[in-house]
Structure 1
Amino acid sequence: MSPNEKALVPEDLTRLFVERSNAGDAAGVAALYEEDAVMAYPPGGQTVGRAAIQALWESVLAHAPRFEQEPPLPTLISGNIALTSTPPRDGAGARAQVARRQADGSWLRVLDQPEFVTPTDGS
């Protein structure tokens, strides 16, 4: 895993997210997002911008959660925009991301609808 590896196809974003999260690399996770990206988190709210997304991931990764690679659902691509998603383990809902192709041909997330599991949710 290279800390500077770019997503060459939209599906790379999820793989790189898992690798960087498990390495505790909040800056590397944030680098997968455009500067003005929007994440639908915390529940009922939004985190806007790469700097705020990095701060959020610093907080989340401080608890050393482990993420597993998941097979992506089919990606939809229209020009320079892609919709990626993965099924959650419990079968309810889905995680979805909108990515945009960059000038260098790589992909970055623009919108992220994650599924977060809190360790203290009692389930």
Structure 2
Amino acid sequence: MSGDRSRERAVEPEDLSRFVVERLNTGDVDGLVALYEPGAVLALPDGTVATGEREIRRAYEGFTADRPVVQHGEQQRTLHHGDLALTSVQLADGKDATVEVARRQSDGTWLWVIDRPSVLG
């Protein structure tokens, strides 16, 4: 995986949503990419999908270039099934929400496998 392994890692799937907001607001592209499994998919606003570290990195480089300020939304109840978790956040605007699938890693931490972030829309 890319990125600095010294960053805080998700011990619960809900941590990923908090980390993405923090890292978006600081422009930490490496930290954003580190929230995903190497072969993860990220839905993009134009309807395409970024697959894997390189494409996800490119998407976040473009998004963070304008130094957006993203607010924390309201974490919705997580649905767990074994090593998978379906997470969702109602965004601060009250109109949009995100939906993600996270997978528990062998070390017990969580990474996203599928991400549909309205924040990029």
- Whether TM exceeds 0.5 here: the answer is yes
Tell me the TM-score normalised to structure 1 length: 0.87
> Percent identity between the aligned chains?
43
Structure 2 gap segments, 5+ residues each:
none
Q: What is the 5 A alignment of 1:20-99?
A: 20-99=23-102
Compute the TM-score of the two structures, normalised by the length of structure 2: 0.89
In structure 1, the residue corresponding to 2:75 is in which secondary structure? coil
Map 1:109-120 onto structure 2 (within 5 A).
Answer: 109-116=112-119
Q: Distance in 2 between matches of 1:82 and 1:42?
A: 23
Q: Equivalent residue of 2:20, what SS?
A: helix
Looking at structure 1, the residues matched to 45 and 92 of structure 2 have their Cα atoms a distance apart, in angstroms, of: 20
Contact 2:98 2:118 in 1 (8 A): yes
Which of structures 1 and 2 has the bigger CA Rg? Answer: 1
| Greater fraction of residues in strand | 2
CA, structure 1 residues 106+46, in 2 after alignment: closer, same or farther (shift >3 Å)? same
Shift of 1:76: 0.4
User: Unaligned stretches of 5+ in structure 1?
Assistant: 119-123
Query: Structure 1 residue 106 and structure 2 residue 109: aligned?
Result: yes
Structure with the bigger percentage of helix: 2
Shift of 1:40: 0.9
